[in-house]
Structure formats: C-alpha cells, structure tokens
Amino acid sequence: MVGLAQSEAKVEEVSCDGVTWLNVEKPTQSEMQFLATKYHFHPLALEDCLSRIQLPKIDKYGDYIFLILHFPAIRDSGKIVTASQLSIFLGKDYLVTVHQGDIKPLSDLFSSCKKDELTRRAVVCNTTGYTLYRLIDSLVDSLFPIVDGILRELDEIEDKVFDEKVEAVREVTLLRRKISDLRRIIFPLRRVVAELAREVNRFSNIDLTKYFSDIQDHVDKLWETLEACKETIEIYKDTDFMLNTEKTNKILAILTIIFTLTIPHTVVGTIYGMNINLPGGIETGAWTFLGPYTTLLILLVIATIPALIMLWYFRKLKWI
C-alpha cells in the first residue's frame, strides 16, 4: 500500500509499504507535542529540534536514533552561506525530518516522493535506513555545485587581485566568509556520517555500510576541495594586501620626494616674506640689472640648485 496524508499540525507524511517519512517545516511547540504523542520521542531531543544552535551530533535511544546535521541555506543571490539545522529521528518503520524549510534539496526530494510514485517507491518503499541514505546522499550531492561555484569565483578573483586598477578586497573577504561557513558545516558532517554508517544497519534489512562509505567519500572530497580553496583564498588575501601596500608606498614615496624638493623654495620664500632688510628685498631696493624681475630670477636659481642636488643624490641612492 502506498498512501499520502497531511496533518493539521503542519506535518506532511509520505508512506509506502509500511515505511513512513514525516517532514516537519518551521516547527513550533504544537508540532513537537504531536511527535511526542505519536512516537514518544525523548523530551530533550524534541527540545533540540526547536533550537537552531545545536551542534551536529548523533544520539542513540532504545528503538530509534536522533541526528542533528547542518546544511547550507544560500541567500542573497548565492553571496552568503548560512547553516540550517536538520533534525532527524530514525526508527524501524519511520523517518522524521524537522527543519526550517530552507534546505531546498530536502524539500525537493520530499515533494518528488509525494508527487511521483516511481520516486516514492525508489526512496521510501524499502527501509528507513535506505531512505535516510537517499536523503543524506541527496543533501551531500547538493554541496558539489556550491563548491564548484566557489572554484569559479576563485578564478574570477585571481584576475582582479593581480589587476592594479581593480579593487578586490570586498570580493576576497566575502569568498573567505563563504568558504569558512562551508567548512564549519562539512567538518562535523564527516564525523557524524562515519558514526551513522555503524548504526544505521539496525534499521535496514540490507547492509548499508558501503552506501554510507560512499557518502563519506563524497564528504571527504568536499573537505579536501575546501581546504585547497581556503589555502588559495589566503594566498589571494595576502597578495592583495601586499600589492595594495606596495601601491600605497609608491604613492607616498612620490609625494615625499615632491615635498622634499620644494623645501628649498619654501625656505627661501619664507625668508624673503619677513619684514626685514634683505639683499634684493623691497626694503633695501630690488635688483634690476637683469630687468624688473632680476630678484625673482636670482631667488629661483638659489632655491632650484639645492633641489637639483637632492634630486641627483636621490637617484644615486636609487630612491627614484
């Protein structure tokens, strides 16, 4: 028998050959009370379902196991990755998933099981352990496009980092954040999946060890790729910082040299701006043997000669 039902307590249900998958989105206290009444789950486990800050874990009870996993929920056009909590109860003839409704691969798989009989028979009409395998496998596979997107972003940022005309600080910072968030999601997933592979066979009439070992292999590949991405983005961060620092130092060096070369003119101008008797000054009578601008020309020569000497010395020291 294959049946579909939906309770008034926001609990959607897919059943097939004695196996039931209940999916609860955006749970409240009333949904938890519904699960407590129907399956007699431990109150602490139900309390963890309502919390959004629980660490990934696996708790073993008498006739069921309780899982908490984290998977990414991407918002703002893929720019930010946030961890969304998924709580799972696995029993002999039921699988209960509790989440906030923002894990798209889970919602898509459950919707397919509801609407398509072939998918329902392939996923649900087996054992709860196998259904859990199909669910986690789908969630893990959904991480590969995200990681591939990060690899593409790394390639795009590389060109910006080495282009002095383009600022890449913001892009590098956002990508570092995305990589860090994904690493926090995937790292505990490795441990939980490995432990789950040893426990899930009690809820299946076939050996699922190889199935979960395949998931473990996928998780390890994701982790290795993210580690390489982390090293690459750190190199880009350091490179961008050094290039910007070098650019700033060049600008400061040019401005310093310009300021230094103007010091003689500033000194001469300051001296002749004082109201005291000076050679060629207004008080003593301006020099006119080369014309009305004789004093100005002589003072410019006096100020320019030290500037030229400093310019020659700076070039000799290879400062410019």
pLDDT category of residue 211 using cuts at 50, 70 and 90: very high
Distances (CA, A) of 258 to 108, 262, 279: 65, 6, 28
Ordered by start, the domain boundaries in the chain are 2-245, 262-316
- pLDDT averaged over every residue in the chain: 85
Structural domain 2-245, CATH architecture: 2-Layer Sandwich (3.30)
Mean per-residue pLDDT for 55-75?
A: 88
Outline where the chain has alpha helix (H): 29-39, 43-50, 104-115, 117-123, 128-141, 143-161, 169-199, 209-261, 263-271, 294-316
pLDDT at 4 over 60: no
Q: What is the pLDDT of residue 96?
A: 95
pTM of the entire structure? 0.75
Neighbours of 223 (CB within 10 A): 17
Lowest mean pLDDT among 6-10, 63-67, 120-124: 6-10
With beta carbons less than 8 A apart as the criterion, state whether 235 and 228 touch.
Answer: no
Q: Is the pLDDT of residue 230 over 50?
A: yes
**Position 1 pLDDT exceeds 50:** no
